[in-house]
Amino acid sequence: MMRLPVKSLMQFRSVSKAWKSLIDSSEFVAAQSVLHTHPHHLFVWYKDPRGEIKYVSFLDDDSFPQQRFVPTLPLSVKLPRIVGSSHGLLCLDGYHWDPETSEINFKKRLAVVCNPSIRKSIAFVVPDILYARQEIVLAFGVCPVTIDPKIIQITQLPSWMDKKTEISNLWKVEVYSFRSGKWKSLSTNLPSNSIRIRQPQVVIDKFIYWCSSCIDSGLRTHNLIMSFDMTDESFKVVDLPECLASHPFARLSVSKLGESLVMLQYNINTEEQVWCDVWIMVNGAQVSFTKQYTIKGQRGSIKAVGFRKSGGPIMEVDDYLSEPTQLVVYEPNSGHCDDPIRGYSFNVNSYMETLLMFGRSDCSSY
C-alpha cells in the first residue's frame, strides 16, 4: 500500500478506521517517505520579467514539461528563498508577514518547512545574529535514520573581514530538530575558522554538502567540500582533485544527480564562450571524482541549476541577445532541449510525494 501515490493514500483513509489508523501511523509515514518509487516533481523558483517572484512545479516524468502547476505556498512567509528539499519537504527562508496589516516584518526571519503534496507547513523563528557583519548559511535536511527534519543555521564572519577581531569563535552552529522542538548550539566538531561555506546545499542520504574554500597557513586558498552528518551532527571535509581544488571558487558549485553529489566546474575562453564540466563523486574506500561530460554553451553564459530524474541537466541560459534568460532542459544522449520558462535567477529543487508532517498537531494547512 505504501507504494501508492499520496493522493490515493489520502482518499483511502476514509475507507475504514483500520486503514485510517494504518496510514496515519508514524511508522507508515516514515516507511513511505524513504521509498524512491513515488512521483518526482521539479519545484522551480524564479523571477519573471517584471522582477516578481514566481513558482511552478513540473511532474518529472516522460510527460515533461507538459504537466505543470502553480503550487500553493504558506502565507506566513514573504520574499522567500528556497533553502533546499529532502524527503518530499521544502524549506523556505524569508520574513514574517502579518495578514491583518499586510505588512512584512523584516526583523523577524522565518524558516518555513512545507509538504506541497499534502499542503501542510510549519514555521520557525530563526535565531538572531550577534554581529551585523556575520553571514548566515541556512540548511535543511531530513535524517534518514530517525526521519527527523532538521534546520541548521551556520553563522560565520565574511571572508573579507580581518581575522584579528574581538570575536574569538568565528563559527556558530545552531540546529533545530522537529523531534525535540527546540534549537540547540553545537560546541564540538565545528569546522576550522579558515573555512568558508557557500550556498547552495545538496542533501544525499544522511549528509548535507556545500562547496567551500579554505585558507591554509601559507595564505593560499583552495577549494573543498564540507559535509554535515545529520545523524551525529558533525562536520567533515571532503577533498577535491587538484583541478577542482585550485579552480576559481566563484566558478564552482554543487548539485545532485540521482543520489550522487555533483561538482559543476565552469570555464570561459577568450571568446567568452562558457562551458560546464560535470563531475560526480564516487564513494568507495576512498572518495574520488569522475568527470561525466561537458555542457557547452553556443554563446553567452550558462548555469546548471539542477538535474532531472532522467539525468538531464537543467540550465539557465543567457545568450546576451534576448531578454529574459531561459530555463533549458538538455538531454545529453539525444541533444534535445526543452525551453519551458523565461525569467531570471532560477532555483530548482527536486522533491517526491510523501506523507511527512501529516498528522502533526503543530502543522498548519494552507
Cα–Cα distance for residue pair 254/41, rounded to 1 Å: 20
Which of 29-43, 73-87, 159-173, 183-197 shows the lowest per-residue confidence on average (mean pLDDT)? 159-173
Cα–Cα distance for residue pair 339/314, rounded to 1 Å: 10
Q: Which three cell numbers stand for residue 313?
A: 541537466
> What is the structure's pLDDT at 124?
84
pLDDT beyond 80 at 271? no
Return the SS3 of 99. coil
Percent of the chain with pLDDT over 90: 36
Mean pLDDT of 114-140: 82
Q: Which three cell numbers stand for residue 360?
A: 502533526
CA-based nearest residue to 175, from 184, 166, 167 = 184
Cα–Cα distance for residue pair 116/210, rounded to 1 Å: 25
Mean pLDDT of 291-306: 83
Cβ atoms of 275 and 297 closer than 8 Å: yes
DSSP structure string for 216-251: -TTS-EEEEEEEEETTTTEEEEEE--HHHHTS-GGG
If pLDDT is split at 50, 70 and 90, which confidence band does 39 have?
confident
Question: Model confidence over 13-22: pLDDT tens digits?
Answer: 888 888 888 8
If pLDDT is split at 50, 70 and 90, which confidence band does 267 have?
very high
> What is the structure's pLDDT at 80?
74
Higher model confidence: residue 179 or residue 97? Answer: 179
If pLDDT is split at 50, 70 and 90, which confidence band does 158 have?
low
Cβ atoms of 253 and 244 closer than 8 Å: no
> What is the structure's pLDDT at 91?
94
> What is the structure's pLDDT at 152?
96
Mean pLDDT over each residue of the chain, to the nearest integer? 84
Cα–Cα distance for residue pair 95/110, rounded to 1 Å: 5
Higher model confidence: residue 259 or residue 219? Answer: 259
Higher model confidence: residue 354 or residue 79? Answer: 354
CB neighbours of residue 92 within 10 Å = 24
Strand 260-268 relative to strand 288-296, pairing = unpaired
Cβ atoms of 85 and 322 closer than 8 Å: no
CA-based nearest residue to 348, from 327, 331, 322, 332 = 327
pLDDT beyond 70 at 334? no
pLDDT beyond 80 at 73? no
> What is the structure's pLDDT at 83?
94
Question: Cα–Cα distances in Å, from 244 out to 224, 282, 313?
Answer: 8, 15, 20
Cβ atoms of 360 and 122 closer than 8 Å: yes
- Packing angle of the helix pair 26-33, 17-24 (nearest 10 deg): 60
Say which amino acid occupies 17: K
Cβ atoms of 216 and 193 closer than 8 Å: no
Question: Model confidence over 50-68: pLDDT tens digits?
Answer: 888 888 899 988 887 788 8
Q: Which three cell numbers stand for residue 208?
A: 548535507
If pLDDT is split at 50, 70 and 90, which confidence band does 36 have?
low
